[in-house]
Amino acid sequence: MSTIKLHELEKLIFHKQFVEAEVACQKILRDDADNPRITELLIYIYLQTQQYSHASEILQKLFSKETSNRGLCDKLAKVCALNGDHRQASDCYKQYLQTTPMDVEAIYNYAFNLRHAGKFHQSIEQYEKALSLNISQPEEVLVNVAVIYTDHLRDDDKAEAMLLRALKFNPKYIPALFNLANLDEQRGRKATATKHFQTILGLDPKHSTTLARLADLTTFSDSTDPIILHMEKMLLSHRLESRDKIDILFALGKAFDQCKQYTKAFEYYVLANRLNAKFNPRFSVTEFTHLVEQIISVFSADWLAKNQTSDTYQPIFICGMFRSGSTLAEQILASHPKMTAGGELEFFVRHIASELSPFPNNVSLLTKNKLKNVGKLYQQYIIQRFPEADKVTDKRPDNFLYLGLIKAIFPHAKIIFTQREPLDNFLSVYFQHLSPSMNYATDLPNIAHYYSQQNRLMDHWKSLFPDSIYTLNYDELISRPEDKIKEMLNFLGLEWNADCLNFYQLDNTVKTASVLQVRQPLYKTSSGRWKNYETQLLANLPDFDFKY
């Protein structure tokens, strides 16, 4: 340590002078490559500066010499997961378990990372192995298995069986009760879902998420309803974490909207979105505009002509703005005897994140053979989940970003693009607690920008393959349902079937914020809803260009 003493190095790190500390560590390691303390400090620096690949490289070298070292295995797997590589994280546990096969906690972690790597059946096998070894808190393991069945393998009966099995171990286990309620709601079992939520509140009256979900299942007409009063009281509690307030605020916005107290409803939605934005990554108007420009540039007519495969498979994609009617379109189509609702399938989002990131820059790495292989993987993915289906809809709204890639893989793919009155769409997005990936949703100007850029990109896709895209307008569907459904079916090459008008009677699982709406006949109250909030919209969107 001739150049810098250990305490001086630690002082640099304490004061977050990471660049200087990193240089010092590397200099020391050139002379003393096996110094464990300096190696440990360099890993810490890389983690603090989010240089996960560098941290992973060092840890991988250490772990390769000590594959029976559980601490190293855990640390390496954690860094791999932080870097988004759950496949490598699961491989760490696979190596470790070859030397220590009965470590039940490692088996659990192995199963967890297999799930996030998309290896669902292997994940279930490892969870079941952990159960056979009498892992503590088996109810938690069973809930994890249930989530795989319902979210990824689309086997709701097995998911329900896992949850009921969890409750046999612990009848008061709230995550199992909550997931059971959620599953019942998705399957249209409103009464039993309500009962499960009420059971949870009986066990924990301050369970804010459950209270908010119970409010979502309730139709309000009086602002003095006990559920509303309970939520307002909960907001005043100093013990309620900021993150837990978000669902309550959204639920109160919905409650006062139903009570037709629109000013108060909007105030709650504003509070909900401001708080939610603090926990989401920042949305950049500039970055999203640049992304759309890159996609348009990469997926040109020339690129498509050179790279398009000759695959004859004809998948059906439903995309568009979130809350634009995509779930309704899918539910209508699923009522046709030849159609099955696939829901929001994650194939392309997962594949692009793991194989083509950053997108679309890495599209240049693709060859026609690679595109053919992706097509085969997608077909296997569909068959595995829907083995008896004739045609399956892939309803992932943000697939609009990937239509150039999809059409290169599947030239015969059919795309249904859903649209609705922009202001109604903006409000519907703003009034929902959406995931952090939809970080634009917490701000009305950002929503408007996202909407306009989406339509700009759709104009590009329509110029490239106009005969493959059908635009379904929600407001026209509401006013002329039979005409619009016939048009949509004709576009897909399907004969008319009157069952499509009775979509709300379909006995299936719907995983969306629109789950309650699609269980009802078509109604017109959502069309023109923006007029209730005209003052607030004008204040927030004074310069919005309604070109699109």
User: Which pLDDT band holds residue 507 (cuts at 50, 70, 90)?
Assistant: low
SS3 at position 339: strand
Residue appearing with tokens 């490239």 = 464
The string of pLDDT tens digits covering residues 310-366 is: 999 999 999 999 999 999 999 999 999 999 999 999 899 989 988 998 999 999 889
Residues 6+ apart with CB under 8 A from 21: 9, 12, 13, 41, 45
Q: Distance between CA atoms of 197 and 180, rounded to whole angstroms?
A: 9
The string of pLDDT tens digits covering residues 125-154 is: 999 999 999 999 999 999 999 999 998 888
Q: Average pLDDT in the 159-184 region?
A: 97
The string of pLDDT tens digits covering residues 148-171 is: 999 888 899 999 999 999 999 999
Residue 511: both structure tokens together: 């995983």
Radius of gyration for the chain, computed over Cα atoms and rounded to the nearest angstrom = 26
Number of other residues whose CB lies within 10 A of the CB of residue 172:
13
**What distances in angstroms separate CA 14 from CA 35, 39, 44, 459, one per listed residue?**
20, 16, 11, 52
Exposed/middle/buried for 475, CB within 10 Å: 0-12, 13-18, 19+?
A: middle
One-letter-per-residue 3-state SS of 95-134: HHHHHCCCCHHHHHHHHHHHHHCCCHHHHHHHHHHHHHCC
Exposed/middle/buried for 509, CB within 10 Å: 0-12, 13-18, 19+?
A: middle
* Residue 544 in this model has a pLDDT that exceeds 90: no
* Residue 202 in this model has a pLDDT that exceeds 80: yes
Kindly report the length of the chain.
Answer: 548
Residue 547: both structure tokens together: 């070109």
Largest CA distance in the chain: 84
Closest CA to 177 of 215, 210, 145: 210
Angle between helices 226-235 and 208-216 (to 10 degrees): 150
Cis peptide before 360 (omega within 30 of 0): yes
Q: Phi, psi (5° rounding) for residue 207?
A: -75, 95
Q: Is the separation of the CB atoms in 166 and 146 below 8 Å? A: yes
Q: Phi, psi (5° rounding) for residue 339?
A: -120, 145
Entry pTM: 0.82
Structure-model confidence comparison of residues 431 and 544, the more confident one: 431
- How high is the pLDDT of residue 141? 98
Mean pLDDT of the chain: 92
List beta partners, residue 415.
Answer: 317, 469
DSSP symbol at 456? H
DSSP character string of 201-236: HHH-TT-HHHHHHHHHT---S-TT-HHHHHHHHHHT
Residues 6+ apart with CB under 8 A from 429: 321, 322, 323, 438, 441, 447
